Amino acid sequence: MRRVVATFFLAYSTVLIAELLGDKTLYTLGALATRFRLLPIAAGAALAFSLKMAAAVLLGRVITSLPPHLISTISGLTFLGMAGGMLYRLLWPRAQTVSVEQVRFGTAFLTAFLALFLPEWGDPGQLAAALLVAQGAPPVTAWLAGTLAMTTKAVLAGALGMGLRRWLPQRAMRIASVLVFLGLSLLAFSGVEV
């Protein structure tokens, strides 16, 4: 039992540190939190991270062997789509503006899930979990710890976005979100790891 607990905390801290040090997902989550409530973002993120960690634990070698240009293209297109959707709403707002609290749970959940599940396969957190399993960590422990570490990151980034939402006008946050997603798209298309 001690070995499992020690492995869990090793996996949790390894994945969390790998993910917190300059990962693009922090910016994605922060931008989403300026538009949606934290609970659906955290729930969508948790499901996306859970599935990505499962893939990392089970298919770590396959993910790491995918062509970098394929991963970059998928990531770039996802971020570009997010920027396009936000830009559309910025340029052609609805007659009646919907507040953050009025956005349906399912809409925010699905947006967060897709924004986090589609891009960035083979990211530092997945690689850390895959390497831990390759070194003998129990797969279920590495999966659970990795998922919880990435969900912790989602909550931290969401809290940052919520703080920004309290201090900045909605239009400024939307412009910033569009710029963040365009920047992430350009970085992904260029193959730059952030």
Q: Going residue by residue through the chain, which has 194 residues, state the pLDDT in tens, using 9 for 90 and above.
A: 788 888 888 788 877 776 665 566 777 887 888 878 888 988 999 999 999 999 888 876 666 567 778 777 877 787 787 778 778 877 877 655 555 566 688 888 998 898 888 876 777 778 778 877 876 788 899 899 989 988 888 888 878 777 777 777 777 777 877 887 788 788 778 876 54
Residue of 96, 97, 115, 125 whose CA lies nearest to 158:
115
Q: Which residues, 6+ apart, have CB-to-CB distance to 192 below 8 Å?
A: none
Apex 35 CA angle, 151 and 114, nearest 5: 50
**100 DSSP assignment:** G
State both tokens at 74. 């998928």
Q: How many residues does the chain have?
A: 194
Residue of 43, 44, 63 whose CA lies nearest to 53:
63
Whole-model pTM over 0.75: no
